[in-house]
Structure 1
Amino acid sequence: MSARQKTTGSNRTHDDPPTRPARRGRTQAPATADAVPNPERRQEILEIAAKLFAEYGYKATSIREIAERAGMMGGSLYYHIRSKEALFIEIHDRALDAAARRVRAAMAPHTAPWARLEAACSEMLEIQLNAESLTLPIMNNFRSVPEEVKAILVKKRDEFETIFRDIVDALPLPPEMDRQIYRILLLRLLNTADTWYHEGRMSRAEIAMQILAIFRHDAPTTQRTKGTTKSSTKAAPKDPPARKRRAAA
Protein backbone atom coordinates (compact mmCIF):
# COMPACT_ATOMS: atom_id res chain seq x y z
CA MET A 1 0.00 0.00 0.00
CA SER A 2 1.10 3.53 -0.62
CA ALA A 3 1.16 6.14 2.15
CA ARG A 4 -1.92 7.73 0.53
CA GLN A 5 -3.91 4.54 1.06
CA LYS A 6 -2.86 3.83 4.67
CA THR A 7 -5.53 4.05 7.30
CA THR A 8 -5.34 6.34 10.30
CA GLY A 9 -6.58 4.06 13.03
CA SER A 10 -9.97 3.48 11.38
CA ASN A 11 -11.45 2.01 8.24
CA ARG A 12 -11.49 5.41 6.53
CA THR A 13 -8.63 6.26 4.15
CA HIS A 14 -7.24 9.71 3.48
CA ASP A 15 -9.19 9.71 0.22
CA ASP A 16 -12.55 9.43 2.00
CA PRO A 17 -14.40 12.72 2.70
CA PRO A 18 -14.40 13.77 6.34
CA THR A 19 -17.51 13.02 8.36
CA ARG A 20 -19.55 16.18 9.11
CA PRO A 21 -20.69 16.60 12.71
CA ALA A 22 -24.45 16.71 13.27
CA ARG A 23 -25.94 20.21 13.63
CA ARG A 24 -26.87 21.19 17.12
CA GLY A 25 -30.41 22.17 17.99
CA ARG A 26 -32.01 20.07 15.27
CA THR A 27 -33.23 16.53 15.72
CA GLN A 28 -31.80 14.01 13.31
CA ALA A 29 -34.87 12.36 11.81
CA PRO A 30 -34.86 8.72 10.82
CA ALA A 31 -35.22 7.78 7.18
CA THR A 32 -38.98 7.70 6.67
CA ALA A 33 -41.46 8.54 3.94
CA ASP A 34 -41.53 12.11 5.28
CA ALA A 35 -37.83 12.46 4.50
CA VAL A 36 -38.62 12.32 0.78
CA PRO A 37 -39.86 15.63 -0.75
CA ASN A 38 -43.52 15.27 -1.66
CA PRO A 39 -45.57 18.20 -3.06
CA GLU A 40 -48.85 16.86 -1.66
CA ARG A 41 -47.35 16.30 1.78
CA ARG A 42 -45.82 19.77 1.75
CA GLN A 43 -49.16 21.32 0.82
CA GLU A 44 -50.74 19.52 3.76
CA ILE A 45 -48.07 20.94 6.07
CA LEU A 46 -48.70 24.46 4.74
CA GLU A 47 -52.43 24.14 5.40
CA ILE A 48 -51.87 22.84 8.93
CA ALA A 49 -49.36 25.59 9.71
CA ALA A 50 -51.65 28.28 8.28
CA LYS A 51 -54.48 27.21 10.59
CA LEU A 52 -52.19 27.17 13.61
CA PHE A 53 -50.75 30.61 12.80
CA ALA A 54 -54.28 31.94 12.33
CA GLU A 55 -55.57 30.39 15.54
CA TYR A 56 -52.68 30.94 17.96
CA GLY A 57 -50.53 33.59 16.28
CA TYR A 58 -46.97 33.50 15.04
CA LYS A 59 -45.19 33.53 18.40
CA ALA A 60 -47.35 30.87 20.06
CA THR A 61 -47.03 28.42 17.17
CA SER A 62 -44.00 26.16 17.30
CA ILE A 63 -42.39 23.90 14.73
CA ARG A 64 -42.94 20.97 17.10
CA GLU A 65 -46.68 21.63 17.22
CA ILE A 66 -46.90 21.88 13.43
CA ALA A 67 -45.06 18.58 13.13
CA GLU A 68 -47.31 16.90 15.70
CA ARG A 69 -50.47 18.05 13.88
CA ALA A 70 -48.98 16.65 10.67
CA GLY A 71 -48.15 13.34 12.37
CA MET A 72 -44.40 13.82 11.95
CA MET A 73 -41.27 14.07 14.05
CA GLY A 74 -39.94 17.58 14.50
CA GLY A 75 -36.77 16.88 12.55
CA SER A 76 -38.67 15.40 9.63
CA LEU A 77 -40.46 18.71 9.09
CA TYR A 78 -37.20 20.29 7.95
CA TYR A 79 -37.19 18.08 4.88
CA HIS A 80 -40.17 20.16 3.70
CA ILE A 81 -39.43 23.65 5.10
CA ARG A 82 -36.34 25.73 5.84
CA SER A 83 -37.52 27.48 9.00
CA LYS A 84 -40.55 28.79 10.84
CA GLU A 85 -39.91 32.25 9.41
CA ALA A 86 -39.73 30.98 5.83
CA LEU A 87 -42.88 28.93 6.39
CA PHE A 88 -44.84 31.95 7.62
CA ILE A 89 -43.64 34.13 4.75
CA GLU A 90 -44.75 31.55 2.20
CA ILE A 91 -48.19 31.20 3.80
CA HIS A 92 -48.59 34.99 4.04
CA ASP A 93 -47.60 35.46 0.39
CA ARG A 94 -49.91 32.70 -0.80
CA ALA A 95 -52.83 34.24 1.09
CA LEU A 96 -52.24 37.64 -0.51
CA ASP A 97 -51.78 36.13 -3.97
CA ALA A 98 -55.11 34.32 -3.63
CA ALA A 99 -56.80 37.53 -2.46
CA ALA A 100 -55.31 39.46 -5.39
CA ARG A 101 -56.63 36.90 -7.87
CA ARG A 102 -60.12 37.14 -6.40
CA VAL A 103 -60.18 40.94 -6.44
CA ARG A 104 -58.91 41.11 -10.03
CA ALA A 105 -61.47 38.53 -11.13
CA ALA A 106 -64.26 40.53 -9.48
CA MET A 107 -63.17 43.70 -11.30
CA ALA A 108 -62.66 42.04 -14.68
CA PRO A 109 -66.24 42.46 -16.02
CA HIS A 110 -66.17 46.21 -15.33
CA THR A 111 -64.48 49.05 -17.16
CA ALA A 112 -65.86 52.15 -15.43
CA PRO A 113 -63.54 53.25 -12.57
CA TRP A 114 -66.31 53.52 -9.96
CA ALA A 115 -67.75 50.14 -10.90
CA ARG A 116 -64.28 48.58 -10.57
CA LEU A 117 -63.87 50.17 -7.15
CA GLU A 118 -67.21 48.84 -5.95
CA ALA A 119 -66.39 45.34 -7.19
CA ALA A 120 -63.01 45.43 -5.44
CA CYS A 121 -64.53 46.67 -2.17
CA SER A 122 -67.25 44.03 -2.25
CA GLU A 123 -64.76 41.22 -2.85
CA MET A 124 -62.43 42.48 -0.14
CA LEU A 125 -65.28 42.41 2.36
CA GLU A 126 -66.10 38.83 1.35
CA ILE A 127 -62.48 37.82 1.85
CA GLN A 128 -62.04 39.56 5.18
CA LEU A 129 -65.37 38.51 6.68
CA ASN A 130 -65.35 34.88 5.57
CA ALA A 131 -64.99 32.77 8.72
CA GLU A 132 -63.01 30.15 6.80
CA SER A 133 -60.63 32.64 5.21
CA LEU A 134 -57.08 32.67 6.56
CA THR A 135 -56.09 35.94 4.88
CA LEU A 136 -57.15 38.25 7.69
CA PRO A 137 -55.74 36.32 10.68
CA ILE A 138 -52.48 35.68 8.83
CA MET A 139 -52.16 39.39 8.05
CA ASN A 140 -52.96 40.27 11.66
CA ASN A 141 -49.78 38.47 12.76
CA PHE A 142 -47.69 41.23 11.19
CA ARG A 143 -46.69 42.92 14.45
CA SER A 144 -45.57 39.70 16.14
CA VAL A 145 -43.05 38.53 13.53
CA PRO A 146 -39.32 39.38 13.68
CA GLU A 147 -38.21 42.64 12.06
CA GLU A 148 -36.33 40.90 9.24
CA VAL A 149 -39.52 39.00 8.39
CA LYS A 150 -41.59 42.20 8.45
CA ALA A 151 -39.39 43.74 5.76
CA ILE A 152 -40.19 40.83 3.44
CA LEU A 153 -43.92 40.94 4.23
CA VAL A 154 -44.10 44.67 3.52
CA LYS A 155 -42.85 44.11 -0.03
CA LYS A 156 -45.66 41.64 -0.68
CA ARG A 157 -48.27 43.95 0.82
CA ASP A 158 -47.06 46.83 -1.32
CA GLU A 159 -47.42 44.57 -4.35
CA PHE A 160 -51.01 43.76 -3.35
CA GLU A 161 -51.88 47.40 -2.81
CA THR A 162 -50.94 48.25 -6.40
CA ILE A 163 -54.40 46.90 -7.29
CA PHE A 164 -56.06 49.68 -5.31
CA ARG A 165 -53.43 52.21 -6.31
CA ASP A 166 -54.34 51.65 -9.97
CA ILE A 167 -58.06 51.86 -9.21
CA VAL A 168 -57.75 55.10 -7.24
CA ASP A 169 -55.46 56.66 -9.86
CA ALA A 170 -58.19 56.10 -12.46
CA LEU A 171 -60.94 57.74 -10.40
CA PRO A 172 -62.16 61.22 -11.42
CA LEU A 173 -61.34 62.78 -8.06
CA PRO A 174 -61.01 66.52 -7.42
CA PRO A 175 -57.44 67.70 -8.06
CA GLU A 176 -57.02 68.92 -4.48
CA MET A 177 -57.74 65.44 -3.06
CA ASP A 178 -54.63 63.46 -2.15
CA ARG A 179 -54.97 60.00 -3.72
CA GLN A 180 -52.50 58.34 -1.36
CA ILE A 181 -54.48 59.39 1.73
CA TYR A 182 -57.67 58.38 -0.07
CA ARG A 183 -56.26 54.89 -0.73
CA ILE A 184 -54.90 54.48 2.80
CA LEU A 185 -58.25 55.36 4.38
CA LEU A 186 -60.12 53.02 2.04
CA LEU A 187 -57.81 50.07 2.70
CA ARG A 188 -57.78 50.68 6.44
CA LEU A 189 -61.59 50.56 6.41
CA LEU A 190 -61.65 47.31 4.41
CA ASN A 191 -58.81 45.62 6.29
CA THR A 192 -60.45 46.20 9.68
CA ALA A 193 -63.93 45.11 8.60
CA ASP A 194 -63.99 42.30 11.17
CA THR A 195 -63.85 44.88 13.98
CA TRP A 196 -66.92 46.86 12.92
CA TYR A 197 -69.09 44.61 10.74
CA HIS A 198 -72.13 42.81 12.18
CA GLU A 199 -74.43 40.49 10.27
CA GLY A 200 -78.03 41.53 9.93
CA ARG A 201 -78.89 45.11 9.01
CA MET A 202 -77.07 45.21 5.66
CA SER A 203 -75.55 42.65 3.36
CA ARG A 204 -71.87 42.86 2.46
CA ALA A 205 -72.76 43.99 -1.05
CA GLU A 206 -74.93 46.78 0.36
CA ILE A 207 -72.14 47.90 2.66
CA ALA A 208 -69.76 47.96 -0.31
CA MET A 209 -72.23 50.27 -2.07
CA GLN A 210 -72.35 52.51 1.00
CA ILE A 211 -68.56 52.68 1.11
CA LEU A 212 -68.52 53.61 -2.56
CA ALA A 213 -71.14 56.32 -2.02
CA ILE A 214 -69.17 57.81 0.88
CA PHE A 215 -65.85 57.78 -0.96
CA ARG A 216 -67.57 59.15 -4.05
CA HIS A 217 -69.32 61.84 -1.99
CA ASP A 218 -72.70 60.75 -3.29
CA ALA A 219 -76.02 60.22 -1.60
CA PRO A 220 -76.37 56.46 -0.92
CA THR A 221 -78.89 55.78 -3.69
CA THR A 222 -77.34 53.43 -6.23
CA GLN A 223 -78.78 51.89 -9.36
CA ARG A 224 -77.20 48.95 -11.18
CA THR A 225 -77.40 48.59 -14.95
CA LYS A 226 -75.68 45.82 -16.91
CA GLY A 227 -72.53 45.49 -14.86
CA THR A 228 -71.98 49.20 -14.29
CA THR A 229 -72.93 51.32 -11.31
CA LYS A 230 -74.68 54.63 -11.64
CA SER A 231 -75.09 56.76 -8.55
CA SER A 232 -77.63 59.53 -8.47
CA THR A 233 -77.58 62.30 -5.90
CA LYS A 234 -80.93 63.76 -4.96
CA ALA A 235 -80.99 67.50 -4.73
CA ALA A 236 -81.51 68.81 -1.19
CA PRO A 237 -84.82 70.63 -0.68
CA LYS A 238 -84.56 74.38 -0.87
CA ASP A 239 -84.93 76.38 2.31
CA PRO A 240 -88.32 78.06 2.65
CA PRO A 241 -88.46 81.84 2.25
CA ALA A 242 -87.33 83.86 5.23
CA ARG A 243 -90.89 85.06 5.90
CA LYS A 244 -92.26 81.52 6.15
CA ARG A 245 -89.41 80.43 8.41
CA ARG A 246 -90.21 83.23 10.86
CA ALA A 247 -93.90 82.34 10.79
CA ALA A 248 -93.10 78.73 11.53
CA ALA A 249 -90.93 79.78 14.46
Structure 2
Amino acid sequence: MNARHPDKSNPSREDEVVAAAAALFAERGYAATSIRDIGERVGLLGGSLYHYIKSKDALFVRIHDAALQAAEDRIRAAIEGVEEPAARLARACRVLLAIQLDPASLTMPLMNDFRAVPDSVRVQLVARRDAFELLFADLVNALPPQPGRDPAIYRILLLATLNSASEWYRPGRLTLDEVADQILGVYAVGS
Protein backbone atom coordinates (compact mmCIF):
# COMPACT_ATOMS: atom_id res chain seq x y z
CA MET A 1 0.00 0.00 0.00
CA ASN A 2 2.96 2.27 0.31
CA ALA A 3 4.40 3.62 -2.93
CA ARG A 4 7.80 4.08 -1.31
CA HIS A 5 8.12 0.33 -0.77
CA PRO A 6 6.95 -1.50 -3.88
CA ASP A 7 8.93 -4.66 -3.04
CA LYS A 8 6.34 -6.69 -1.12
CA SER A 9 8.91 -9.41 -0.37
CA ASN A 10 10.56 -6.91 1.99
CA PRO A 11 7.79 -4.74 3.45
CA SER A 12 8.62 -1.77 5.62
CA ARG A 13 7.56 -1.63 9.26
CA GLU A 14 4.89 0.89 8.28
CA ASP A 15 3.57 -1.55 5.65
CA GLU A 16 3.42 -4.25 8.34
CA VAL A 17 1.43 -1.95 10.63
CA VAL A 18 -1.02 -1.06 7.86
CA ALA A 19 -1.43 -4.71 6.84
CA ALA A 20 -2.01 -5.79 10.43
CA ALA A 21 -4.56 -3.03 10.96
CA ALA A 22 -6.36 -3.93 7.74
CA ALA A 23 -6.56 -7.57 8.80
CA LEU A 24 -7.86 -6.63 12.25
CA PHE A 25 -10.44 -4.20 10.87
CA ALA A 26 -11.62 -6.93 8.48
CA GLU A 27 -11.73 -9.60 11.21
CA ARG A 28 -13.14 -7.61 14.14
CA GLY A 29 -14.50 -4.39 12.71
CA TYR A 30 -13.60 -0.80 13.45
CA ALA A 31 -15.16 -0.56 16.93
CA ALA A 32 -13.64 -3.81 18.21
CA THR A 33 -10.11 -3.03 17.00
CA SER A 34 -7.89 -0.96 19.25
CA ILE A 35 -4.51 0.62 18.72
CA ARG A 36 -3.24 -1.81 21.35
CA ASP A 37 -4.54 -4.75 19.24
CA ILE A 38 -2.69 -3.44 16.21
CA GLY A 39 0.48 -2.94 18.23
CA GLU A 40 0.28 -6.46 19.64
CA ARG A 41 -0.19 -7.91 16.16
CA VAL A 42 3.06 -6.31 14.95
CA GLY A 43 4.98 -6.43 18.23
CA LEU A 44 5.00 -2.69 18.98
CA LEU A 45 3.96 -0.76 22.06
CA GLY A 46 1.46 2.08 21.67
CA GLY A 47 4.03 4.87 21.72
CA SER A 48 6.18 3.19 19.09
CA LEU A 49 3.12 2.50 16.96
CA TYR A 50 2.31 6.21 16.73
CA HIS A 51 5.60 6.67 14.89
CA TYR A 52 3.91 4.88 11.97
CA ILE A 53 0.31 6.09 12.28
CA LYS A 54 -1.46 9.26 13.37
CA SER A 55 -4.59 7.67 14.81
CA LYS A 56 -6.94 4.75 14.48
CA ASP A 57 -9.32 6.97 12.51
CA ALA A 58 -6.62 8.10 10.08
CA LEU A 59 -5.44 4.52 9.66
CA PHE A 60 -8.96 3.28 8.90
CA VAL A 61 -9.47 6.05 6.32
CA ARG A 62 -6.09 5.25 4.75
CA ILE A 63 -6.92 1.55 4.45
CA HIS A 64 -10.43 2.26 3.14
CA ASP A 65 -9.08 4.69 0.55
CA ALA A 66 -6.37 2.27 -0.55
CA ALA A 67 -8.90 -0.56 -0.95
CA LEU A 68 -11.19 1.61 -3.07
CA GLN A 69 -8.26 2.91 -5.11
CA ALA A 70 -7.10 -0.64 -5.79
CA ALA A 71 -10.64 -1.59 -6.90
CA GLU A 72 -10.86 1.48 -9.12
CA ASP A 73 -7.47 0.76 -10.65
CA ARG A 74 -8.50 -2.83 -11.46
CA ILE A 75 -11.73 -1.66 -13.05
CA ARG A 76 -10.04 1.06 -15.10
CA ALA A 77 -7.43 -1.43 -16.34
CA ALA A 78 -10.18 -3.88 -17.32
CA ILE A 79 -12.16 -1.34 -19.35
CA GLU A 80 -9.16 0.28 -21.01
CA GLY A 81 -9.45 -0.07 -24.77
CA VAL A 82 -13.09 -1.18 -24.66
CA GLU A 83 -15.02 1.32 -26.77
CA GLU A 84 -18.63 0.15 -26.70
CA PRO A 85 -20.43 1.69 -23.65
CA ALA A 86 -22.45 -1.40 -22.68
CA ALA A 87 -19.38 -3.63 -22.97
CA ARG A 88 -17.38 -1.19 -20.80
CA LEU A 89 -20.06 -1.21 -18.11
CA ALA A 90 -20.41 -4.99 -18.28
CA ARG A 91 -16.67 -5.46 -17.85
CA ALA A 92 -16.58 -3.00 -14.93
CA CYS A 93 -19.47 -4.87 -13.28
CA ARG A 94 -17.70 -8.22 -13.67
CA VAL A 95 -14.53 -6.86 -12.07
CA LEU A 96 -16.41 -5.26 -9.17
CA LEU A 97 -18.33 -8.49 -8.59
CA ALA A 98 -15.06 -10.44 -8.53
CA ILE A 99 -13.62 -7.96 -6.02
CA GLN A 100 -16.68 -8.16 -3.78
CA LEU A 101 -16.66 -11.97 -3.81
CA ASP A 102 -12.92 -12.31 -3.20
CA PRO A 103 -12.49 -13.54 0.39
CA ALA A 104 -9.22 -11.58 0.64
CA SER A 105 -10.84 -8.31 -0.46
CA LEU A 106 -11.04 -5.56 2.11
CA THR A 107 -13.78 -3.59 0.41
CA MET A 108 -16.73 -5.41 1.98
CA PRO A 109 -15.47 -5.60 5.57
CA LEU A 110 -14.55 -1.91 5.47
CA MET A 111 -17.85 -0.91 3.84
CA ASN A 112 -19.80 -2.92 6.41
CA ASP A 113 -18.24 -0.85 9.19
CA PHE A 114 -19.54 2.39 7.77
CA ARG A 115 -21.96 3.07 10.63
CA ALA A 116 -19.46 2.13 13.35
CA VAL A 117 -17.01 4.93 12.62
CA PRO A 118 -17.17 8.45 14.09
CA ASP A 119 -18.96 11.10 12.04
CA SER A 120 -15.71 12.85 11.12
CA VAL A 121 -14.40 9.60 9.63
CA ARG A 122 -17.70 8.84 7.90
CA VAL A 123 -17.50 12.18 6.05
CA GLN A 124 -14.12 11.19 4.64
CA LEU A 125 -15.33 7.71 3.69
CA VAL A 126 -18.39 9.11 1.92
CA ALA A 127 -16.25 11.56 -0.05
CA ARG A 128 -13.95 8.76 -1.25
CA ARG A 129 -16.86 6.45 -2.01
CA ASP A 130 -18.58 9.19 -4.00
CA ALA A 131 -15.39 9.65 -6.01
CA PHE A 132 -15.29 5.90 -6.70
CA GLU A 133 -18.92 5.89 -7.81
CA LEU A 134 -18.18 8.63 -10.37
CA LEU A 135 -16.50 5.90 -12.41
CA PHE A 136 -19.81 4.03 -12.61
CA ALA A 137 -21.78 7.24 -13.13
CA ASP A 138 -19.64 7.95 -16.20
CA LEU A 139 -20.08 4.40 -17.48
CA VAL A 140 -23.87 4.50 -17.02
CA ASN A 141 -24.18 7.98 -18.51
CA ALA A 142 -22.33 6.79 -21.62
CA LEU A 143 -25.09 4.25 -22.34
CA PRO A 144 -27.68 5.21 -24.92
CA PRO A 145 -30.66 6.80 -23.15
CA GLN A 146 -33.63 4.54 -22.57
CA PRO A 147 -37.13 5.89 -22.02
CA GLY A 148 -38.16 5.64 -18.39
CA ARG A 149 -34.68 4.82 -17.08
CA ASP A 150 -33.18 7.33 -14.68
CA PRO A 151 -29.38 6.88 -14.97
CA ALA A 152 -28.77 7.76 -11.30
CA ILE A 153 -31.32 5.23 -10.00
CA TYR A 154 -30.04 2.63 -12.48
CA ARG A 155 -26.45 3.12 -11.21
CA ILE A 156 -27.51 2.98 -7.55
CA LEU A 157 -29.46 -0.26 -8.03
CA LEU A 158 -26.67 -1.85 -10.06
CA LEU A 159 -24.02 -0.93 -7.49
CA ALA A 160 -26.25 -2.03 -4.60
CA THR A 161 -26.62 -5.45 -6.22
CA LEU A 162 -22.91 -5.81 -6.91
CA ASN A 163 -21.85 -4.48 -3.51
CA SER A 164 -24.18 -6.82 -1.62
CA ALA A 165 -23.18 -9.97 -3.54
CA SER A 166 -20.99 -11.28 -0.73
CA GLU A 167 -24.07 -11.36 1.52
CA TRP A 168 -26.13 -13.62 -0.74
CA TYR A 169 -23.76 -15.42 -3.13
CA ARG A 170 -22.83 -19.01 -2.27
CA PRO A 171 -20.29 -20.89 -4.42
CA GLY A 172 -21.41 -24.08 -6.07
CA ARG A 173 -24.69 -23.38 -7.80
CA LEU A 174 -23.47 -20.74 -10.24
CA THR A 175 -19.98 -19.61 -11.15
CA LEU A 176 -18.95 -16.01 -10.72
CA ASP A 177 -19.36 -15.47 -14.48
CA GLU A 178 -22.84 -16.98 -14.41
CA VAL A 179 -23.84 -14.71 -11.53
CA ALA A 180 -22.42 -11.74 -13.42
CA ASP A 181 -24.45 -12.76 -16.48
CA GLN A 182 -27.60 -12.90 -14.36
CA ILE A 183 -26.99 -9.45 -12.86
CA LEU A 184 -26.09 -7.96 -16.21
CA GLY A 185 -29.22 -9.50 -17.73
CA VAL A 186 -31.49 -8.07 -15.04
CA TYR A 187 -30.00 -4.63 -15.60
CA ALA A 188 -29.93 -5.09 -19.40
CA VAL A 189 -26.20 -4.49 -19.70
CA GLY A 190 -24.59 -6.06 -22.76
CA SER A 191 -21.41 -8.06 -22.26
TM-score over 0.5 for the alignment?
yes
Tell me, in whole angstroms, the C-alpha distance in 2 between the residues paired with 1:109 and 1:97.
20
Deviates more, 1:203-212 or 1:70-79: 203-212
**Distance between the aligned counterparts of 2:140 and 2:147, measured in 1?**
13
Deviates more, 1:192-201 or 1:46-55: 192-201
Deviation at 1:134, TM superposition (A): 1.3
| Structure 1 residues 176-208: Cα deviation after superposition (integer angstroms, max 9, x where no partner) | 311111110000000100111111222111221
The equivalent residue for 2:4 is none
1:134 is aligned with what amino acid?
L
Task: Find the residue that maps to 1:165 and give its secondary structure.
Answer: helix
- The aligned counterpart of 1:50 is 22
Whichever residue aligns with residue 171 of structure 2, its letter is E
Who is 2:12 aligned against?
A: 40
Letter in 2 for 1:43: D
Q: Which 4+ residue blocks in structure 1 deviate beyond 4 angstroms? A: none
Q: Which moved further from structure 2: 153-162 or 104-113?
A: 104-113
1:173 deviates by 3.1
Q: SS where residue 31 of structure 2 aligns?
A: coil
Residue 85 of structure 1 is matched in structure 2 by 57
Aligned residue type for 1:193: A
- Pairing 1:210-225 to 2, within 5 Å after superposition: 210-216=182-188
| Letter matched to residue 91 of structure 2 | A
Q: State percent identity of aligned pairs.
A: 53
Could you tell me which of 52, 60, 63 is aligned with 2:32?
A: 60
Cα distance in 2 between the residues matched to 1:84 and 1:196: 31
Residues 73-95 of structure 1: CA deviation (Å, up to 9, x unaligned): 11110111111100100000000
Could you tell me which residue of structure 1 aligns to residue 71 of structure 2?
99
| C-alpha separation in 2, matches of 1:208 and 1:115 | 13
Matches of 1:137 and 1:75, distance apart in 2: 27
TM-aligned CA deviation for residue 125 of structure 1: 1.1
CA deviation profile, 1:130-163 (whole Å, cap 9, x unmatched): 1111121112111100011100110000000011
Deviation at 1:129, TM superposition (A): 0.6
Structure with the larger helix share: 2
Partner of residue 180, structure 1 = 152
- Where does residue 167 of structure 1 map in the other structure? 139
Point out which structure has higher relative CO (alpha carbons under 8 A, 6+ apart): 2
Q: TM-score, normalising length from structure 1?
A: 0.70
CA RMSD of aligned residues (A): 1.4
SS at match of 2:12: helix
Normalization by structure 2: what TM-score?
0.91
Instruction: Report the 3-state secondary structure (helix = DSSP H, G, I; strand = E; otherwise coil) of the residue aligned with 1:211.
Output: helix
Which amino acid counterpart does residue 81 of structure 1 have in structure 2?
I
- Structure 2 alignment gaps of length 5 or more: 1-10
- What one-letter code is carried by the residue in structure 1 that aligns with 2:154? Y
Query: Partners in 2 of 1:137 and 1:95 — Cα distance?
Result: 11
What residue is the counterpart of 2:43 in the other structure? Answer: 71
Within the alignment, does 1:132 sit opposite 2:107 as a pair? no
Shift of 1:109: 3.5
* Aligned-partner SS, 1:79: coil
Gaps of 5+ in 1: 1-38, 223-228, 230-249
Q: Is the 8 A contact 1:58 1:145 kept in 2?
A: yes
* 1:213-248 Cα deviation digits (max 9, x unpaired): 21118xxxx8xxxxxx4xxxxxxxxxxxxxxxxxxx
Structure with bigger gyration radius: 1
Matches of 2:180 and 2:86 in 1, distance apart? 12
Contact persistence 1:58–1:141 (CA under 8 A): yes
Does residue 173 of structure 2 align to residue 201 of structure 1? yes
Query: Offset at 1:97?
Result: 0.3
Q: Which amino acid aligns with 2:153?
A: I
CA contact (8 A) 1:117 1:212 kept: no
